[in-house]
Structure 1
Amino acid sequence: MPRTRLAPITSPRTAACAAMGLCALLIGCDRDRETALRADLSEYVYLTDTHYFDSRRTCTAAIFELSSSYLTGKVEPDATLEAAQATYDLGGPAAIQMAEYSPNDMADGMLLLDRGVFGKQVLEAAANVGDCLTDEASAGFRTALTRPSAILIWLPDPEGFMIVDPGRDRAYYAAGFPL
């Protein structure tokens, strides 16, 4: 079988572009920019200050202060696991809030549904966001994940989940994807 020969790069401009592309591939890039993420999340919650932000090639984590723990109205929290899964199945953002349950409890409960994809997506993002969290930020996420009555929201764009913690007036956003 004949070998295919690659043409040598002869143009300085082509060589520079190829080198920059290779560097970007090797170094990696941030998944999200803070300003773009803020704009996306502001459609759902009333953000004020950024408390924490880190984005890398495989994850993004952010903690924002809120002026209100109420949602903007673009998404309304469902009150049952089945309703939240049905909303998720429609392809848009899906939210759930159950007074006696934490986001962690709700995600676990959704795994037991016939199509527990909402819960699987949340747990996958949570499992892969670790590289983007400092110890302090991780502690905040853990508190929010275990706070009863916090709102759990799955967002298809930007793909990730957000927890609205009414006890602290903060929103926690996490997205994590394996390589």
Structure 2
Amino acid sequence: MRRALFAGMMLWVLAGCALDSEESLRRALGTRLYLLDTVHFASKGNCTAAVFTLAKGEFREPFPMVVSVKGALAKLRAGEAAYLHLEGRTPNEISEEIMSHDLPTGLGLISVGIGPAQDCMSDPVSRGYYMVLTSAQSQMVYLPEENALLLLYPPEKLAFFLRGNI
């Protein structure tokens, strides 16, 4: 009985733990982005969502770029980070196209962007995220090992980071 009670308490404690701290996330992203201020940060046991202003609307250190669905699928299936740059397409359109070629891989990409947006973003932040997700000016990086999505929006010098626990 004690073991069951202890196990239940441990699960309850772990469920309340955040996936990320703002400080550790800023440290990790600071090597890749020109971070300024944190506009939004929320992290729970199942998600992290953060929005940062940037000094420059570009990557400090680039991610490996793919320019085709075939290239994107190869990187994603290999579990490698990829900057998904399919000319003229929005991050949303890219996700749909990947899903139409490989449903499990596409669903993995989409779930990283949907879960944290629902559970770790307020409505105003979520509306901004939707605008960025549906803009062809946005740049999307999928980080499968981290189960994360990074969206850069150069016109406003913003970066959105989303991580799920699935």
TM-score over 0.5 (shorter chain): yes
Residue of structure 2 equivalent to 1:35: 23
- Asked whether 1:47 is paired with 2:35, we answer yes
Question: What amino acid does structure 2 have at the position aligned with 1:126?
Answer: G
What is the number of residues matched between the two proteins?
A: 164
CA distance in 2, matches of 1:143, 1:72: 24
- Runs (4 or more) in structure 1 with deviation over 6 Å come to 17-20
Partner of 1:125: 112
Cα distance in 1 for partners of 2:49, 2:28 equals 14
TM-score by length of 1: 0.79
Q: Which residue of 1 aligns with 2:13?
A: 24
Residue 55 of structure 1: how far off its partner (Å): 0.4
- Superposed CA RMSD: 2.6
Q: Which has the larger radius of gyration?
A: 1
| TM superposition shift of 1:69 | 2.0
| Cα deviation digits, residues 62-121 of structure 1 (max 9, x gap) | 00111222223341332222212222233221111234111000000111224761x322
Equivalent residue, structure 1, for 2:84: 96
Tell me if 1:140 matches 2:166: no
Partner of residue 152, structure 2: 164
Which structure 1 segments of 5+ residues have no match?
Answer: 1-5, 10-16
Q: Are the aligned partners of 1:128 and 1:177 in contact in 2 as well (CA < 8 Å)?
A: no
**1:109 aligned residue:** 97
Report the CA distance shift for 1:29/1:104 in structure 2 as closer, same or farther (over 3 A): same
For the residue of structure 2 that corresponds to 1:167, the secondary structure is helix
The alpha-carbon distance between structure 1 residues 157 and 48, as it changes in their structure 2 partners (threshold 3 A), is farther
- 1:85·1:115 contact (CA, 8 Å) conserved in 2? no
1:80 counterpart = 2:68: yes
Is the helix fraction higher in 1 or 2?
2
Q: Which moved more, 1:34-43 or 1:51-60?
A: 34-43
Q: Tell me the TM-score normalized by structure 2.
A: 0.84
Q: Is the 8 A contact 1:53 1:63 kept in 2?
A: yes
Render the CA deviation track for 1:108-144: whole Å, top value 9, x for unaligned: 0111224761x32221122211111101110111011
Distance 1:177 1:20, change over 3 A: closer
CA 46–21 in structure 1, closer or farther in 2 if over 3 Å, else same: same
- How far apart, in 2, do the equivalents of 1:115 and 1:80 lie? 17
